[in-house]
Structure 1
Amino acid sequence: MRVLLTSDTHLPKRAKSLPRELLEAIDGADVVIHAGDWVDEAALDLFVSRARRLIGVYGNNDGPGLRARLPEVARAELGGVRFAVVHETGAAQGREQRCARRFPDADVLVFGHSHIPWDTVAPGGLRLLNPGSPTDRRRQPHHTYMTTRVTGRSLGPVTLHRIGVPAENG
Structure 2
Amino acid sequence: MSAAIIGRSQPKRHLMSAKHPLRIALVADTHNLLRPELLAFVEGADAIVHAGDICEKRVLDTLAAIAPLTAVRGNNDHGAWADALPVQTTVALGGVRLAVVHELPGLQGDPAADGMAAVVSGHSHRPALETREGVLYVNPGSAGPRRFRLPVSAAMLTIGSHGALDVEHVNLVA
* TM-score bracket, shorter-length normalisation: 0.7 to 0.9
Distance 1:155 1:139 in 2: 33
The one-letter code matched in structure 1 to 2:51 is A
Unaligned runs of 5+ in 1: 12-16, 91-97, 166-170
Distance 1:140 1:132 in 2: 12
Post-superposition CA distance 1:113-149 (Å, at most 9, x none): 1101110111x21110000011233224420000021
Structure 1 pair 34–84 and aligned structure 2 pair: CA distance change class (3 A) = same
Q: Could you tell me which residue of structure 1 aligns to residue 157 of structure 2?
A: 148
Distance 2:56 2:24 in 1: 23
State, as a whole percentage, how many aligned pairs show the same letter. 34
Structure 1: 4+ residue segments shifted above 6 A: none
Q: Could you tell me which residue of structure 1 aligns to residue 89 of structure 2?
A: 74
Distance 1:128 1:68 in 2: 25
Using structure 1 for the length normalisation, give the TM-score.
Answer: 0.81
- Work out whether residues 116 and 140 of structure 1, in 8 Å CA contact, stay in contact via their aligned partners in 2: no
Using structure 2 for the length normalisation, give the TM-score.
Answer: 0.79
> Quick check: 1:53 aligned with 2:68?
yes
**RMSD of equivalent CA atoms:** 1.9
Distance 2:48 2:156 in 1: 9
- Secondary structure, aligned partner of 1:37: coil
Distance 2:124 2:145 in 1: 10
